[in-house]
Structure formats: C-alpha cells, structure tokens
A and B are shown apart, each in its own frame.
Chain A
Amino acid sequence: MANEVISNPIEQKTPNGKPRLTNKDLNTIWLRWAFTHLASMSYEKLQGHAYAWAYIPFAKKYYKDDPEAKRRLLVRHSVFFNTEPQTGQIINGIVTSLEENIALGGEVSEEMPNNIKATLMGPLAGIGDSIIQGIIVPILLSIGMSLASGGSVIGPLFYIIAYAIIGTTISYVSYHTGYKLGVNAIDAIVGENARRITNAFNILGIIVVGALAAGNIVLTTTLNIPLGSDWQSLQTTLDNVFPHILPLIAVLVTWWMLGKKQYSPTKVIVVLTAAICVFCLLGVF
C-alpha cells in the first residue's frame, strides 16, 4: 500500500499535489549522510544526528509552510542510530521513500521511519561489518601489501583506487536500491533468499579469515630440543609437521577468550601482553 504512490511516478498525481523527489534531491540526501554519518560521534547517539542534518534540505522543500511538521521530522531523526555506513545506506534509501510518502500526504505514519531504522540497523550492521571489515578491506589490504613489497608505490595506490571505487559504489547502490524498493527491501534483507546469500558470504568470510590468520600472525619459538647428540631448533621441527602452528594456537586461544569467556578486547590485550612477557622472559619466544 505504502508503495502505490512510488510505482508510477509520472502518471499518478501525488495526494497533496507536491512534487516528488528529483534525482538531485536523492543524491543530496545520500551525500549528506555519506559525508557526516559519524561527524558528532559519541557513545550516546553514535550516528544519530546525521539523519537530521541529511534531511534538512528535504524538510525545506516539503515543510516550508508547516514548521511544526518540519520540527517533528528533525526531532524524530535525532535519535540513537548506528549501522555500517556503506551498506547501511539502504536504510537511508528506505527512510527517504517513507518520508517522501509522508510529505506527499500518503498513508505512512510518522512513526514508521524510526521503526524501520530500529529494526534494520542491527542486521545491516552485522552483515555490513562482516562484508566490509571482514572480507573486502582485509583482502584488498593483503593484495595491496603484496604489491607494495620492496617499497613499490603501486601497492598503496591499488588499495586507494580499489577501495574508493568499491566503497562508494556500495554506498550509492545501497541507497538507491533502498529508495526504489521502499519497504519491500526489508524482505530482500531478512527474507529466505537473503539468508542463503548471507550464509554463503559468511562461509567465504570464514575461509578468508582462516587464510588471514595463517598469513599475518607471527609467532615462533626460539627453543631448541635435543636430537641425538645435537640440538635442533624446535621451530624447524614444528614447521615440518604443521607450519604456523603457534599462530594457530594463538588465534584459537584469543577466539576462545573473546567468545566463550566473553573477555573485552582490552582485557585480552592485557592477558596477551602478560603471557608474552612471561614467555619471552622464559626464553620461549
């Protein structure tokens, strides 16, 4: 129902005669949130006030003669909000379509946008963070680092260009997809098909994280073990059996501390530092 107004933009007249959002308006909202989502970041509101600021031109366009409605718009978009900034633009797009419907006198209630924001910010933060911070950024960085070996400038340049294109594209496509689909996008995010796709991406992420663990943790022992009448380095023996076994143990222990024992990252740092100090003093590492 809420999307009837949106499906035929040219033919259908809007309920109260006001004009629909132009592409320029849409991109203004997209850019305003894309630039300032964390500008006033605090634990209390996180990305909250960026929504209000992003919708100021929107409010000026539709509520010039209704300052009370404008005030309600700004206040309702000053609540706590936090999600992944690039994939989270899909929420921004959905909210834009809802607010447009409200402004044009449609049937969407004024509480809907915040309900949508509250429902979707969690799932999108989870999916978005595991895709962007778990998969895309580490992979691009690994490629950039190997290209930069020896001090070549191609490495950093590759990463800059690759991420600039990918990040901006994800942000732009997410926003416009959210706007076009409106509330129907929710099914695309949490429906059955989406679950299968997210699950598959998840598996991809787990494999990549495993490879990251092998490639980026450095831990070797300096112990020597007796071999006949000679001493041989323990590390060489370990490497012949299972290369990188010490990093593997380290990362599994860290994961256990974070997951099972629910330690905070700071506590894990303290534990790790203490353990490293002890082992180094004992001459193990």
Chain B
Amino acid sequence: MDFSLLFPAIMCGIFCYLGAIESCCLLGMTGGYYIVGRPLVAGLLCGLVFGDVTAGILCGVAVQAVFIANLSTGGATNSEITYAAYGGIGLALATTKDPAIAVTLSVLIGQTLGLIFYNTRMALYSFFNNGAQKAAEDNNDSGITRWHIVYPQICTFFIRAVPVFLIIFLGQGVVDTLINSVPEIVTHIISVLGGVLPALGIGMLMNIVVKDKFQLIFFFAGFVLMAFAGLSMIAIVFLAALVAYLVFLSSGNTSAAKSVMAKASASKGTASAVYEDNDLF
C-alpha cells in the first residue's frame, strides 16, 4: 500500500461526493453534477491533488469525449459519470497517467460499479423518503431537515467517497494486470467501445430532440458541417442559431396564414349569407 496516495485518494472521494447528482452542497445539480461531476473538471481537480495538472487535464479531456453525451432523465442514466470520472481519472493518475488507461478504467467503472452503486442507492433512499413523509405528517420541521438532508447526505458521502477511495488506494494491482496480463485484444475492444459509447448518449439525445423523421435533415446538416467542412463547434452553433431563427420566422408566417385563412373563411360565410338573402333581388 502506497501511503503517498492517501491524501489524493481521500480528496478524489470527496470530489466524487461533491459532484454527485444527488449532492446538495454546490447549488444542487448546478454546481455539483453539471460542474464538479464532469470529467473535464474532474481532470483538473484530480490533477491538482495528484500534483500533475497537465496530465490530469489530458486524462480529463480524453474521458470527457466518451461521456460528452451523458444523459440523466427522470433519475435514469446511461452511465454513472461521477464514479467513472473520479474512479477512472484518479486511478490512472495514481499509476500510469496515461489518458488511454484513464478512458479504459472510466468506461469499466462507469458501466459496472457505478451503475450498480447508483441503482442500489436509488432503491434504498425510499427509506429516507418514508421518514421525511412521516415528519411532514407530524408537523416536524427539524424532522424533515433530518430525513431529507442530513441522513441521506451522510449516506451519500459514504457511498460515493469510500468506493472511489478504495479504487484509487488499492487499485494499483488492477491497472498492472490490465497493462501486463490482459490480452491486447481485450484492451483494444475496450478502447473501441470507449470510442463508440458517445453514440449511445447521442442516440438518447436524438430521442429527445428529433420528433419526426423529416427533422433528420437538420441532423445531417449539422453532421455534414462538422464532418466535411470541419467547422468548429462555435461556428456551427451560430449557423444553427440562424437556421433556428429562420424556422421561427417561417412558423410565424404559417400560424399567421392559418389565422388569416380562418378569418377569410369566416367572412366568406357571412358574405354568402348576404348574397343568399332572398329579398335582395
């Protein structure tokens, strides 16, 4: 056991708690899950505690690419990003500092241990919800505070920090096995999997935003701008904003046209009533 890892491992555990989706310390999800929980930021933070910021950021960028389309809707998520970020990047920095190893470890941890811990926690916390419900029914303010915040957050701290600490502190052996003993085809498969994994997140995003088949034209437009023209993301965002504005303007014309037509047919109705007046002729 390498005791120089003690402090960094503890800090990574704490960061995993702070960046968890259910953490309440940094303005809820705003500062926690969406900032500290992102691998890009995790790379910086892990780099700081391990004393090698550049390596940390390089690992962070590599891992972030895999998790860029990580999605969490209604409590369900496609990959537990916070465990993956701190477990994977932390363990990589503790051993080889290689971004490819960081990606491998993150994919493994996020898809397996991370999801197991996450789903178990989600099921267990019904217990705390029952306590808070009873406290509300008993008109017990401090009870609600205890059952909604204090007890769950203490539990969350241990569920988040302890596994990550153990992974980093005791995981040297796993990494050695990974590099030396595991056949190369397996590490190759994991690295290909890491490259394809964003497709899952992007597929989930498509499920949310693409409402019918014809909207795929916009998807292909964005794809082509990046794949063929090689534009940067910022450029594509501005072009996309232009297209969105044009769509907005044209949808205004359609709904205005609809209401004009509705008025026209209404007035046509009254006009024909005038012509059908028998006393007119």
A residues adjacent to B (C-beta < 8 A): 34-46, 48-50, 52-53, 56, 59-60, 67, 70-71, 74-75, 77-78, 82, 85-86, 125-126, 129-130, 132-134, 137-139, 141-146, 148-149, 151-153, 155-157, 159-160, 163-164, 167-168, 171, 192, 196-197, 199-219, 242-244, 247-248, 250-251, 254-255, 257-259, 265-266, 268-269, 272-273, 276-277, 280-281, 285
- Write the nearest CB–CB distance from A196 to chain B, whole angstroms: 5
Candidates A53, A209, A243; contact of B227 at CB < 8 Å: A243
- How many chain B residues sit at the interface, stated as a range, is 35 or more
Tell me the complex Cα distance, A101–B123, Å.
37
Residues of B within 8 A of A203 (CB): 215, 218, 240, 243-244, 247
28 A-B contacts (beta carbon < 8 Å): A40-B148, A41-B122, A41-B125, A43-B126, A44-B125, A49-B148, A52-B132, A77-B136, A133-B205, A151-B57, A160-B41, A163-B30, A167-B34, A199-B248, A200-B244, A205-B205, A206-B219, A211-B225, A213-B198, A214-B224, A217-B196, A218-B195, A219-B192, A243-B227, A243-B228, A255-B206, A269-B78, A280-B188
Whether B207 contacts A258 by the Cβ 8 Å rule is yes
Residues of B within 8 A of A247 (CB): 196, 199
- Write the nearest CB–CB distance from B128 to chain A, whole angstroms: 5
Tell me the complex Cα distance, A139–B27, Å.
21
Tell me the complex Cα distance, A133–B149, Å.
26
Candidates B29, B145, B233; contact of A142 at CB < 8 Å: B233
Whether B219 contacts A210 by the Cβ 8 Å rule is yes
Residues of B within 8 A of A211 (CB): 222-223, 225-226, 231, 233, 236, 240
Whether B198 contacts A153 by the Cβ 8 Å rule is no
B residues adjacent to A (C-beta < 8 A): 21-25, 27-31, 34-35, 38, 40-41, 43-44, 53-55, 57-58, 60-61, 64-65, 68-69, 71-78, 111, 115, 122-126, 128-129, 132-133, 136-139, 141, 144-145, 147-149, 152-153, 185, 188-189, 192-193, 195-200, 202-211, 215, 218-228, 231-234, 236-237, 239-241, 243-245, 247-248, 251-252, 255
Candidates B129, B208, B226, B245; contact of A42 at CB < 8 Å: B129
Candidates B28, B38, B153, B248; contact of A37 at CB < 8 Å: B28
Whether A152 contacts B251 by the Cβ 8 Å rule is no
Whether B68 contacts A142 by the Cβ 8 Å rule is yes
* A133 and chain B: residue at smallest CB distance: B71
